[in-house]
Amino acid sequence: MAKKILLVDDDPGVHLITVPILSKAGYNVVSAKNGEQALHLALNERPHLILMDVIMPGIKGRDLCRKIKAYDVLKDIAVVFLTAKDSEDDIQAEIQAGGLTHLTKPVNPTELLQTISGIIGK
């Protein structure tokens, strides 16, 4: 059974680029365009990994990560931040919010797949 990834980003272009890369690699991808939708999908779909932007309307990525980690049924889901914000302070804030690691946009497809595979396998 394919591993499930929840992609959370308000930019449709990110979905257009990232979903095919992940699908072609054999992952089942569920998409959300904001934090509220992502929290609902995380609770209903129970993904193996969440790939999330930081700057989004409504719930910001770091706050969403904290909310996800507060649920017993979701706290063990790996969260990888995928964002253009890549200062040391930004990355530290993502880790403190519960993120496992950080990828900088635009992400290299090989790096994306290697990172995901290293965390949840194929």
pLDDT of 89 over the 80 cut = yes
pLDDT of 53 over the 90 cut = yes
Cβ count near 92 (within 10 Å): 11
Domain CATH code at residue 54: 3.40.50.2300
pLDDT of residue 85: 87
Domain with 49 in it:
4-120
pLDDT tens-digit map of 60-88: 999 999 999 999 999 999 999 999 988 99
pLDDT tens-digit map of 19-49: 999 999 999 999 999 999 999 999 999 999 9
The total domain count for the chain is: 1
pLDDT of residue 1: 81
